[in-house]
Structure 1
Amino acid sequence: MNLKLRYVILYVSNHEKSKHFYNEILGLPIRGEHGTYIEFETGSTILSINTRESVKEITGLNIAESKTSQTFELGFVVEDVKETIENLRKQDVQILVEPIEKPWGQVVAYVADPDGHYIEICSSLD
């Protein structure tokens, strides 16, 4: 079996707020949009969003109305973590953890999207 991660779908409460956050604030280009489902270009993996209501209707899965705990994070690599965090702060993005250099040399910071999903903004390890 040869598995490749092609896309991640975030379940969101407010389609327009999330679209604005990922497209306008983070600057991710929209790859495709079909109703409440949106795909954003991020490189080799596509980031998608869809409303909880739509996902319930499409899949028949039991989707919780709200999150109760964090079980994952999204990680975005940038050239300058501190500059990126300052730009996000100016756009009223919730900064959870200020930039800090980790023992392995990577600079990381954390922000939250409109639904509270954790997003790591980090320097490359390459």
Structure 2
Amino acid sequence: MRLSHVILYVPDVAQSVAFYGRAFGLPPRFVHESGAYAELAAGEAAIAFASEVLARESMGADFVAVRPDRAPPGIEITLTTDDVARAFDMAIAAGAEPVALPQTKPWGQMVAYVRDADGFLVELASPIGA
């Protein structure tokens, strides 16, 4: 098994893709012509966005929608970078909500946390052992 992509269900796919481009510098690798699904290049795996409507139709089930004014779900996306402080500043400038300032953990890794425009947690982290 290998991780292919993680899909975030969002109200507006185009807005989420644009935010991730501004905040994290991630370029689109696929955008469906319907606008209801897109993937961003993020190393070997991708971060994908599907409209909440498409997700409900595809699954035939409901889910709890993530919103910035609610507590985030118990999951995070981690983006690895050599310059966590710069990445944190870039994300905040693009409209991300700061959660935890960059700090070095006891194991030597630098990490910071933000919430994206939809309310998902994003960890910005240096490579482990770097």
* TM-score where L is the length of structure 2: 0.86
How high is the sequence identity, in percent, across the aligned residues?
Answer: 30
Structure 2: runs of 5 or more not aligned: none
Runs of 4+ in 1 over 3 A off after TM superposition: 65-69
2:99 corresponds, among 96, 100, 105, to: 96
Aligned to 2:85: 82
**Residue 20 of structure 1, CA deviation:** 1.1
- 1:44-123 superposed matches below 5 A: 44-66=44-66, 69-123=72-126
Which residue identity is paired with 1:31?
Answer: R
**Residue 64 of structure 1, CA deviation:** 2.7
8 Å CA contact 1:52–1:63 kept in 2: the answer is no
- What do you get for the CA RMSD once the two structures are aligned? 1.6
CA distance 1:28–1:62, change in 2 (3 Å): same
Give the distance between the partners of 1:69 and 1:101, measured in 2 at CA. 23
Aligned to 1:41: 41
1:5 matched to 2:6: no
Give the distance between the partners of 1:62 and 1:89, measured in 2 at CA. 31
Aligned to 2:15: 17
* TM-score where L is the length of structure 1: 0.88
**Residue 69 of structure 1, CA deviation:** 4.5
Give the distance between the partners of 1:19 and 1:70, measured in 2 at CA. 20
Q: How many pairs are equivalent?
A: 124
CA distance 1:39–1:103, change in 2 (3 Å): same
More displaced, 23-32 or 105-114?
A: 23-32
